Structure 1
Amino acid sequence: MTHRRASPAAASLYTPNGQRKYLTPGERARFVAAAANWPPTIETLCLTLVWTGCRISEALDLTRADLDAEDGIVAVRCLKKRRPGIVREVPVPSAFLDSLLRVHQPGKPQERLWGIARNTGWRYVKDVMQDAGIVGVAASPKGLRHGFGVHALRSGVPLNLLQRWLGHADIATTAIYANAVGAEEREIAARMW
């Protein structure tokens, strides 16, 4: 049996039965607050997903050498592309990067920051989601990635820049984040009422 990838046109921020796949701003804030109650290594994993929009496998592949405090970026190696060596640089808040560097003390530059398996990292994220009271399809690492995309566009990040940060080959894939209803759209709609 061969598996076919969904085309970018088929990508959506909602399941076929209409469930939202991304975290709202309020849910993201609750997730960040809940993560602060966990051990620092788990908190930094959670915040890495929030602030970079990377896939959980990409986060777990990060090393200290991927953290650039001087330029305020995290260099994420794309693990989904068919060829190795594709890296995207994502700017992150300096307080987060400082925390990441502090928690993950100097060791071997190429040593992974967390050293845990993907299913363990997934479980940690799901546990923090539960603590934050977030349920449903969006309560996952993928929900954080989608939440990053929606938040970036709502914050005025250009689509082509978001495409680069998320590592999408096709801008049509990135364009799905523009489909989420934002505050500006609600304000315009409110004028009709």
Structure 2
Amino acid sequence: MSEMRLYDTDGNRLYLNAEERAAFLAAAKRRPARDRTLCETLHFTGCRPSELIEITPARVDLSGGTVTLRTLKKRKDSSGYQKTVFRAVPVPPEYLDTLNTAHGIREAQKSYKRMSTPIWDLTRQRVGQIVKAVMKEAGIAEGKHRCPKGLRHGYGINATAKGIQLHMLQKWMGHADMKVTAIYATAIGQEEQEIAARMWD
């Protein structure tokens, strides 16, 4: 397994900070419904583009307030066989309202065929293009962080800064190893100031 990092070898951030995440979300709201909900889903779930394009109406729990994702990283059970892992990620009610309005989730859940059809009929590469375009519109500076992975890392950093326990973050992000999740506890800058401020209260 390659080591996950939040900075490149030159010390440049590989994640979106709080200000950039807010700007991304604001820019996404100016986009057509398909692109807006796509960006909001990545923002609020921290999922990978390959996981996003598998989301169907059946995996959206409007009353329970979650989106269920299939973890695509390979896992093996105790007998060595590949296993499928699903995770339910809590999301804001306002986001679910937008998703339902834009894609008719509640109605689609009444049809067996529609409930199992992906919400976004796109490739992983196309998702990346949309995200990068929205980030550019949001005024996010060019760099290695201006990509879907930077958004995913930003989700992890934000959760840590807001005091989410690492075992919950591990579950929501679909990490097999807590050591991978723990890297978000090394956040610095504004995010570290927010964490430290809890000691000063």
TM-score, with length taken from structure 1: 0.89
Q: Could you tell me which amino acid in structure 2 is paired with residue 56 of structure 1?
A: P
Aligned: 1:150 with 2:157: yes
Unpaired segments ≥5 residues, structure 2:
76-81, 109-113
Aligned: 1:110 with 2:120: no
**Shift in Å at residue 69 of structure 1?**
0.9
**Shift in Å at residue 136 of structure 1?**
0.8
**Shift in Å at residue 11 of structure 1?**
2.2
**Shift in Å at residue 60 of structure 1?**
1.1
**Shift in Å at residue 81 of structure 1?**
2.1
Q: Is the 8 A contact 2:163 2:195 kept in 1?
A: no
**Shift in Å at residue 35 of structure 1?**
0.6
Number of the residue aligned with 1:34? 27
Higher alpha-carbon deviation: 114-123 or 178-187: 178-187
Number of the residue aligned with 2:95? 96
Once the two structures are superposed, what CA deviation does each residue of 1:49-98 show, in whole Å capped at 9, x if it has no partner? Answer: 00000101101110000100111000011112243531001000000011
Q: Could you tell me which amino acid in structure 2 is paired with residue 17 of structure 1?
A: D
**Shift in Å at residue 184 of structure 1?**
4.0
Number of the residue aligned with 1:180? 187
Q: Could you tell me which amino acid in structure 2 is paired with residue 46 of structure 1?
A: C
Q: Is the 8 A contact 2:161 2:195 kept in 1?
A: no
Aligned: 1:126 with 2:132: yes
Given candidates 59, 79, 94, the residue that maps to 2:72 is: 79
Number of the residue aligned with 1:55? 48
Aligned length: 182
- Which has the larger strand fraction? 2
Q: Secondary structure at the match of 2:118?
A: coil
Number of the residue aligned with 1:191? none
**Shift in Å at residue 38 of structure 1?**
0.9
Number of the residue aligned with 2:10? 17
- Deviating beyond 3 angstroms after TM superposition, the runs of 4 or more aligned structure 1 residues are 184-188
Q: Could you tell me which amino acid in structure 1 is paired with residue 35 of structure 2?
A: I
Q: Could you tell me which amino acid in structure 2 is paired with residue 31 of structure 1?
A: F
Once the two structures are superposed, what CA deviation does each residue of 1:11-42 show, in whole Å capped at 9, x if it has no partner? Answer: 22101111101111000000001111110110
Sequence identity (%): 44
Higher alpha-carbon deviation: 143-152 or 10-19: 10-19
Higher alpha-carbon deviation: 44-53 or 81-90: 81-90
CA distance in 1, matches of 2:54, 2:181: 23
Q: Secondary structure at the match of 1:78?
A: strand
TM-score, with length taken from structure 2: 0.86
